[in-house]
Each structure stands twice: as structure tokens, then as C-alpha cells.
Chain A
Amino acid sequence: MGLETVIVSAIAGACTLSFAASVYLVYRARPQPETGDLEDLIQNAPYHRLHNVLKIKSS
């Protein structure tokens, strides 16, 4: 095993580690999938609990 093989594998290993860490960071920073529709959530909020507290338009 020559010096060239050692150096090439060491540098390639360092690059692989760096790539793996970057992929992990990208995976962490990806936007969370949104569950459901926000408009749906707003229309179906428990407005009946605001009876006598706040007047909400009926639709």
C-alpha cells in the first residue's frame, strides 16, 4: 500500500464525513410537513366556547 493510497483514502474519508454531516444538517433544516388546511382549522375552531365572551360572525 503506497503513500498515494493512504493520502487519497484519508482525504476521501474526510470528505465523506463532511458530506454526511452536511446531509444531516440539510435533513434537520427541511421544513416540517404541514398537517391539514389552515383555513379549515380556522373555520372549525371551537367558536361555541366564545358564547357570551366575544361575538363571532356566524359563517
Chain B
Amino acid sequence: MSPPPCSPGPAPGFFVIAILACSRQFAAMTPLPEFERRPATALVAMANALSMGDAVPDQDLARIIRAVVTSRAERAALLAAVRASNDPDSGLTVADLLGAFAAEAGEAEAQDRDADQIIGQWAQRLAAGALLASFGAAIAGTVTGGHAFGLTLLSFSGFIFAAASRLGGKGRMRVNAKERETAETLARHVLEAARASESKE
């Protein structure tokens, strides 16, 4: 009696299909990425808390937004967090908060510019005029001796002080302008990230 014929093994194609199926299953089971506690995730948390009716102090929110806006790493982390978020509305809220922050920074910048044009420029002109007048009075001999020297010194130091204070104001204006531009750009990118996360789902 001849032995029963061996049953043929499964075709190699079967293994390929099995491996593919397993890898799909593992990919579906991949846990969601965990995010660290950092300014970017704190901002998303605050935005969600705000949308759920919690009270978040404006100062705290502004500090967190400033910390996010001024750091490249935090901006990238914010975009990643918004993209990974399961709730597309949180991206919209974050973008809105960033827009409000940009508007506030723009307002502060405009106030600084007004103060510089109305007060700073005229303080500098006044000191320059006083310097020229004291030179003129000293040369003409109307004011002599210690008075002439004192006036020249006073008006010169006033001119230097006015220039230095204007420089300080300009620096603050530049910082505000940079924060405003970065916050506006980031708000646009956050909206795009929220849209991308929505379409992914």
C-alpha cells in the first residue's frame, strides 16, 4: 500500500498576505504619540479648557503664548500637537488665541510708535535746540563763564539721554512687531494643521 500523498504546504503568497495583514494590524494598534508637558501642549490644554468654560487668567495665557511664539521648537511642537489632536476644534481655538495675541502685540507696537513720534522725537529736537542755543549764547557772549559751560553740558546730556530712551522704545517696538508677525504666521499654520488632521480622520 502506497503512503498517502503529502498535503502540499501553503503557497508562499499566503505568507506575504499574512505578513501584510499583521503589519496593518500592528499599525492600527500603534499607540498615539505621547507629548511632554511644555508650553506648546500647555497652550492646547488652555485652549481646550477655555472652550469648555474654564477660566484661564489672561496673563498666564499671554505668557504661555509668548513662550510658544518666541521658540522655534515650541512652534514645531504646537503644530505637531494640533495635527495629532483628536478634536479639530482645539486647533481652531488655538489659532483664535494666537490671532488675539497678535492683535494685542500690534496694538502695543502702535502705541509705542505713537509715543516715539509724539514725545521721543520732540524731546530730542528740544534738546538739540537747547544745545544750539547754548552754543550761540556762549559764542555771542550773552552767557559767560560757568553758566555757559553748565548749559552746554546740560543740553548735550539731555540730547544723549533722549536718543538713548528713543533707542530703548524702538527696541521694544521691534520685539512687539516680531511677536505679532510670528503669531500671525503661526495662527495660519495651526489652521492648516487642524484642517490636515480633520481630513486625515
Contact = CB atoms under 8 A, between A and B. Distances in A.
Given A47-B45, A49-B52, A55-B33, A28 B151 contact: no
Nearest to B155: A15
Contacts of A34: 63
Interface stretch (B14-22, B99-107, B161-169, B184-192): B161-169
A26 B165 CA distance: 5
Secondary structure at the A interface, as helix, strand, loop or mixed, is helix
B116 interface: yes
A1 interface: no
A48 B145 CA distance: 75
A55 to B, nearest CB: 5
Contact of B137 (A11, A29, A36): A11
Contacts, number: 160
B25 interface: no
Contacts of B59: 35
A11 B63 CA distance: 45
Secondary structure at the B interface, as helix, strand, loop or mixed, is helix
B84 A54 contact: yes
Interface in A17-50: 17-19, 21-26, 28-29, 34-36, 38, 41-43, 45-47, 49-50
A54 B45 CA distance: 9
Q: How large is the interface on A (under 10, 10 to 19, 20 to 34, 35 or more residues)?
A: 35 or more
A14 B37 contact: no
Given A14-B129, A49-B49, A25 B119 contact: yes
Given A12-B151, A49-B52, A50-B41, 6 more contacts: A8-B143, A11-B154, A14-B133, A18-B130, A19-B158, A45-B64
Interface of A: 3-4, 7-8, 10-12, 14-15, 17-19, 21-26, 28-29, 34-36, 38, 41-43, 45-47, 49-50, 52-57, 59
